A and B are shown apart, each in its own frame.
Chain A
């Protein structure tokens, strides 16, 4: 049955690979074989097969939703799909393989628990496979699956499978953040090792792709160590009918890290003011404690001047605070990143102005070597930069916390989202005992 009524987890994953590696076919196969497709969807597939496919059902048509995509047989934008097994619910981002659509791949992968990189067994590792693997590492995706597809076209050769695996293993150590990597030989077109084990790979002992998706351990993918509560919206009832609400001043937001407890001492940044948690208010009931990523409303003992963009933290595991930042950035716009140009920078719940003060290096995706001081970062380039912001931000290294370590750059005027940034860990934490706060 595709649905279940008992509590189950959500796993977010994305699929990436070069054009024609069979991403959309794979997702179609997962939906089809897990019985998540409905009759009218199958009917629509058959209808379009009669018109364009010479009678053969094209599973890719399930995800290629825009007319231009069907006409060109490519995937332009991230398509999201949903399916469930009795063990898990899945949110799938089908991300395009074309180089010019790398920004969509980053969009689809930024919040994923797991990435599937598809490789055509005939072609082996391509520049795109390296790029996607590198992006998955850069984005801190905890789990990676290399699905070696079209194994039927290389006669299910174990030798070919091992050859490609070795090639990956040759460069994976250079992407040090990738911890969990699995290799699976499949044929998405015929379904081998996707949902059901294949009789054609007696030499492969591992799980099927779906089997792995259902069981991979994701419970520790959130950061529960350092308390981070970016204030999103100040909740202050106007002329409440209920007189007990006259003094209600709640701080609403989503926990971006750690655990918050009633009675806990907290620090507000950047002001450095201190208080204690009086209550954790939610629509359903007051909570004694809340954890990342819950959305809550915090009431403090003291009536402090706190607004959107401030961050509430605990007295331990303090974040960094500063306006001189170092980050890795993936550039996503045809107009190159310019040193000295002002952008808006959105980080947690605050938007500030930012200037890129230097381009430190640019990553060569083929060699994973860095080119020092490049003249610019163009579309799809990944580089290290230094920035200065108009106000200090409160942050962590992206490797420690994906929510407080990430930012986007927005071009002024066009309002386009042009860069995806991942902050380097601060060199020192804020020191709450010093009175040296910026404001």
Chain B
């Protein structure tokens, strides 16, 4: 390298690697939250960059809501196997059966039920740190997150009393029963994630690319028709060429009508986009403080 200069992706990468290594060095029992989504795909590559040629010094953890896109779970399992990483999956169904997660009458979404499921997995394995792929540009409450985000023994986030975070000196100290959520991608934008996927030539689940799917129009978005989400009698089912921009549960992830077939197409589409990524997530629209409320309880 002749000029001592990092471009924006190299800059974000070196920062994220530093954060990951701090986790490996400072915590006894860390885990990496891996869903198979685009952000956690970047996390996995960064973990390889941080720790190779050693094995990843932490298992992968995923909370399966039972409402995942099947393509996502297949990808998750395959990728973990390729890396030789240990994958721990904890299911919302099991947490409900065990009385750990209790659905409200008529509650269909598994979004809220992920919280107790995750916290119970953290307790079960005594994880003291969980690395997640959340980004500050996603949402207003996340914009206030630290890289090292402290959670008390109830798994709660106290946004008004966060630890100051200075330079690249991360305070990783927790007492027994408390834990840390760590977000190496804090400073990444949606565009950075896709540019990194392109630069690193990373595989992503096929549902990010355009495909044909039966959809219904609900709440201003196109939702995929599945056994979990059958069309109502008065709803018209349309056969559309769509893709997902962000992946949530299959019953609440809005599909974007899009011909994007390659990562280049996706980057061009995002560059021209006029709505944010989370604009297609029904779970964030319920109230202006929806994400803040879920995060305080222990959501990722």
Contact = CB atoms under 8 A, between A and B. Distances in A.
A372 interface: no
B141 A65 contact: yes
Contacts, number: 188
Nearest to A255: B14
Interface in B256-281: 267, 270-271, 273-276, 278-279
B140 interface: yes
Contact of A89 (B8, B160, B276, B288): B8
Interface in A269-314: 281-284, 287, 289, 291-295, 308
B173 interface: yes
Interface residues of A, number: 84
A107 B195 contact: no
A417 B173 CA distance: 10
Contacts of B267: 5
A420 B54 contact: no
Nearest to B141: A65
Interface stretch (A76-84, A146-154, A382-390): A76-84
A77 B162 CA distance: 8
A358 interface: no
A250 B141 CA distance: 39
Interface stretch (B29-37, B43-51, B230-238): B43-51
B165 A295 contact: no
Interface stretch (A208-216, A235-243, A430-438): A235-243
B54 A295 contact: no
Contact of A66 (B6, B55, B137, B292): B292
A172 interface: no
B1 A291 contact: yes
Contacts of A402: 167
B169 A38 contact: no
A187 interface: no
B279 A7 contact: no
Given A65-B144, A70-B288, A77-B144, A420 B166 contact: yes
> By CB atoms of chain B within 10 A, which of A5, A292, A348 has the most?
A5
A416 interface: yes
B189 interface: yes
A252 B55 CA distance: 14
Contacts of A233: 21, 24-25
Interface string B137-155: 1011111100000000000
- Which 5 pairs of residues, A with B, have the shortest CB-CB distance? A65-B140, A7-B7, A40-B279, A295-B17, A415-B173
